[in-house]
Structure 1
Amino acid sequence: MSDFSIDELVIPATPRAPGWPSWEAVAALRNVVEAEGFGTDDLEYSAAELLPGWLNTTYDPKRMFVARVDGTVVARATYETLLDQGDNHAWLGVQVLPAWRRHGIGTALADRVEALAATENRQELIVYTVSAEAAGKRLAAPTGFGSVPRDNPEVRFLFARGYRLEQVERGSRLPLPADDSVMHRFRADAAAQAGRDYTVHCWSGGTPPHWRADLALLFTRMSTDAPTAGLEEPEDVWTAERLVNEETSRAASPRRMLTAAALHEPSGHLVAFTQLSVPAESNRSVGQEDTLVLREHRGHRLGMLLKSANLEYLAQESPGHPSVTTFNAEENRHMLDVNEALGFVPMGYEGAWKRVVPRSGPSK
């Protein structure tokens, strides 16, 4: 075991505040590990882009711990929970630079955040981690959709700590520019099937005030309507106030959000949405964020309608980006069908793992 120290990272308030070099090191570490797992740097975020989300913990509590060797950050662990103190879930993550693996650092960080979960009586621990493709035996998800290499280091690590694979998520990439005529055809065909009851509205940045309550409901339903397999993740309630808080915080990021939403004309409410996170630099990839159609409004091709509309909106508002990346549960065949039709191709997979720790006795 190498000599290393672990401490909780104090998130710097600004790029000029004390601790900024450590924050930059954390961002670089994240990007190295993501690029290694997915074989692309399309998922890269700058330190400035990551900062607002970590400063804003009003509705989204989170903490970060870092491991250092001779003062240099070589690994990190994340700990996230819901605001509800009665909820027993915690979302954990550990990332170690390749050169510092097999030194006990990942184990020490996992011990730290799992112990923190225990002190807060959070027995349901969830981990999302990339599994790079490798030869050999496969571990299938219990959903019947997707698998990860059984002998990968992260798979063996999680197994040894009592975690169970519950779901596999596919990371996909759409090369840009997309064919304008194809996008227009997809949008027109989907609009024809949706009919006159649904209209598309697009905006950049903050949500128009009269739609904040609707979008908050859509965010809440993301936690209940999206496939979560055996993870059984809890409802995460959003309000208009929380949405404003999130969008105000996000305004400090160099990125901006492009939103396309479907308005159900008879009711006057938004019933579906999709968002793209767009970096300022045109030579960097765009991130596909949440997409949801309320269950009661499915079957009208609103997913295709909104995704094609937002890709057209992206081409108008911020052309020149090389790609769009997105993540979907492998069992979410409907959304995968939409993405594949638009031209998305797989770029990698991550496992969603769960460990349930009883209040007393050994883990199971």
Structure 2
Amino acid sequence: MSTDTVTIEELAIPASVDAPEAAAFAQMVDVRNAIETHLMGTDALNYTARELLPVYQVQDDEPIRLFVARVDGRIVARGILSWQAEEGASASWAEVEVLPEYRRRGIGTALLDHLTAIALASDRPSLQADAIHTRPSTGRRIEPPTGFGWLSADDPGVRFLLGRGYRLEQVGRISALPLPVDPALLVRQRAAAQAAAGDDYRVVAWTGPTPADRVGDLTMLKTRMSTDAPSAGIDYAEERWDADRVARWDRQLADSGRERLTVAAEHVPTGRLAGYNELYLPADRRRPVTQEDTLVLSEHRGRRLGMLLKVANLQQLAEVSPSSPMVTTFNAEENRHMLDVNEAVGFAPIGYEGAWKLTP
């Protein structure tokens, strides 16, 4: 497919970063990093090709197709179409990113039109989009139905999606925590959180793959993460997690070269896990750490377990990787409780993510 001098093509997912066809994938990752660094004003969300490749390779659980736009052979934009593998899931997700110097040439529109045509022809015609946005400061406020957070109508991504019939459903906050955190603060917060939790809860931790005796609980927690996390008006089906999927997820982590630190809260009377928190460490410990899932099951909330989990994992991180400079994380703006926990240990906003839905 071509528009003027723009060529859009689907990018093959290489078997490894060392395969001959991996060169184009690596170029795509460089383009991704350049775009998001420009948007955020920081490279805190950058990844290497090795770290991202396993995300695209695990097609059984999270199918994904990758497209690029080229101008004179150079990759200048990327488009991602993904969906859930679960039966009954009806939504597709589209993501389009264009290098700043190539915007306003119809490249983003051509990519989004291409993704839209594929989605509408599938059995997942409900189209949704995620997009990174600059921190809002001026301009007309675009607010989601949740009533939490806002984006600026002056933001290029906001203008692009509104102009193509999308409606903002949710605003996510991207936060960063500079490291190290004052150890005394973490000790105080952990002691207060443990006192609130009481003797019925204890912290357990592991590094890397999921221990065999925790796989059963983790399948339940991961399933609940897909339904309990705030999703506003976004269509999202319950994820199916079993032992095989946990094993694939653990292999994906190993293939990425990253290390996962997990802290969980065990409900002592039952021996079952009531919540968990994850930190992902890059191989280069001078780069930022990403905080992924944090979940406390609804039946165990109100006992400050969220604070207990986050602080305990930050203490573990300080021991394992004292050279790590920062932790980044994403949270829905309406998830005020978790934002309160983050802010109490020093997280501050560095950017925002919009969750959008194409209106009929």
TM-score (norm 1): 0.95
What is residue 181 of structure 1 aligned with on the other side? 184
- Structural mapping, 1:122-201, within 5 Å: 122-133=124-135, 134-201=137-204
CA offset digits 1:319-345 (Å, max 9, x no partner) = 111110111111111000000001001
Identity of aligned residues (%): 51
- Structure 2 counterpart SS, 1:259: strand
- Structural mapping, 1:265-284, within 5 Å: 265-284=268-287
What is residue 87 of structure 1 aligned with on the other side? 89
What is residue 104 of structure 1 aligned with on the other side? 106
Q: Could you tell me which of 245, 252, 255 is aligned with 1:252?
A: 255
Paired residue type of 1:278: L
CA distance in 1, matches of 2:44, 2:168: 26
- The root-mean-square deviation of aligned C-alpha atoms, in Å, is 1.2
Residues 95 and 131, structure 2, Cα contact 8 Å, conserved in 1: yes
Residues 304 and 338, structure 1, Cα contact 8 Å, conserved in 2: yes
Residues 78 and 96, structure 2, Cα contact 8 Å, conserved in 1: yes
CA distance in 2, matches of 1:142, 1:11: 37
State how many pairs are aligned: 357
Any gaps of 5 or more consecutive residues in structure 1? 357-363
- Structure 2 counterpart SS, 1:252: helix
CA offset digits 1:223-259 (Å, max 9, x no partner) = 1111111114221121121111111122111211111
> How much has 1:121 moved relative to structure 2?
2.5
Residues 2 and 103, structure 1, Cα contact 8 Å, conserved in 2: no
Paired residue type of 1:310: N
What is residue 121 of structure 2 aligned with on the other side? 119
Residues 272 and 294, structure 1, Cα contact 8 Å, conserved in 2: yes
1:342 aligned to 2:353?
A: no
Residues 9 and 64, structure 1, Cα contact 8 Å, conserved in 2: yes
Paired residue type of 1:295: S
Runs of 4+ aligned structure 1 residues displaced above 3 Å come to none
CA distance in 2, matches of 1:17, 1:131: 34
Paired residue type of 1:273: Y
What is residue 359 of structure 1 aligned with on the other side? none
Paired residue type of 1:152: D
What is residue 207 of structure 2 aligned with on the other side? 204
> How much has 1:282 moved relative to structure 2?
2.0
CA distance in 1, matches of 2:117, 2:225: 29
1:19 aligned to 2:10?
A: no
CA offset digits 1:137-172 (Å, max 9, x no partner) = 111121111100113221121112211001111111
